[in-house]
Amino acid sequence: MTQPESNQMEKPQLSSFTNTAFLATLVSRSAPETEKIAGELAASLPANCVVALIGDLGAGKTCFARGIIRAKGVPGHIPITSPTFVIVNAYDTENPVFHFDWYRISDSLELDAIGYRDFLEQGGICIVEWPQNAPDAIPKETLFVHIHGLGESRTIDFYTTLPEPALTEIRSVLTQIVSRLLDVTDINQHTPP
């Protein structure tokens, strides 16, 4: 398997995945804020949820994953890094969390070889970086997070194929996060930066 040269890297495409519903767009002004957003969202994720993180190299996918993983109970002294070379890191929490990095994966057959479907069947939260490298391995019901931007600020777009009641719960949490980020009493008087 060969990866394209970094200057030839294809931009991540949400269009690889069909029937996604737009939920919200948030702006994070720093890596700690990105982690906080992910941590707040973590409480609303159903037990067997797949979170697909889309974004260029350095966009903040691992930062977002770290926020979810910490919120699910992994203590601060345990390092949370992208599993680029090992493909998956498993975290033993009350509801297990599996963090995948498919950057080096070229198709779903490689995922079958490492037992990806076995991880899905364990009922934990699966966080997948670079899902577009094997789009046919992403379950029908998934939360998609597209992270993009330059410098410290990141725009984070949320899309999903999750059914009710998970959809309503995630939408509610995202609304609460938007209110906190705006930090205003009357949302109608706010002028975006």
Task: Kindly state whether residue 160 falls inside one of the protein's structural domains.
Answer: yes
Residue 159 in this model has a pLDDT that exceeds 70:
yes
Which one, of 189, 181, 173, lies nearest residue 29 by Cα? 181
Q: How many domains does the chain have?
A: 1
**Domain assignment present for 75:** yes
Angle at 28 between CA 25 and CA 32, to 5 degrees: 140
Assigned domain for 59 exists: yes
46-77 confidence digits (pLDDT tens): 888 999 999 999 999 999 999 999 999 999 99
| 3-state class (DSSP) for residue 112 | helix
User: Would residue 187 count as lying in a domain?
Assistant: no
Residue 94 domain boundaries: 28-181
Q: Write out the two tokens for 188.
A: 């109608």
**CA distances (Å), origin 124, targets 4, 110, 119, 156, 162:** 32, 21, 8, 23, 15
pLDDT tens-digit series, residues 72-118? 999 999 999 999 999 999 999 888 999 999 999 999 999 999 999 99
The answer to the question of residue 80 being in a domain is yes
CA pair distance 101, 4, nearest whole angstrom: 17
Whole-angstrom distance, CA of residue 65 vs CA of residue 97: 10
CATH number for position 74 = 3.40.50.300
Establish if 77 belongs to a structural domain.
yes
CA distance 80 to 66: 6
Q: Please check whether residue 2 lies inside any domain of the structure.
A: no
Is residue 190 domain-resident?
Answer: no
pLDDT band of residue 184 (cuts 50, 70, 90) is very low
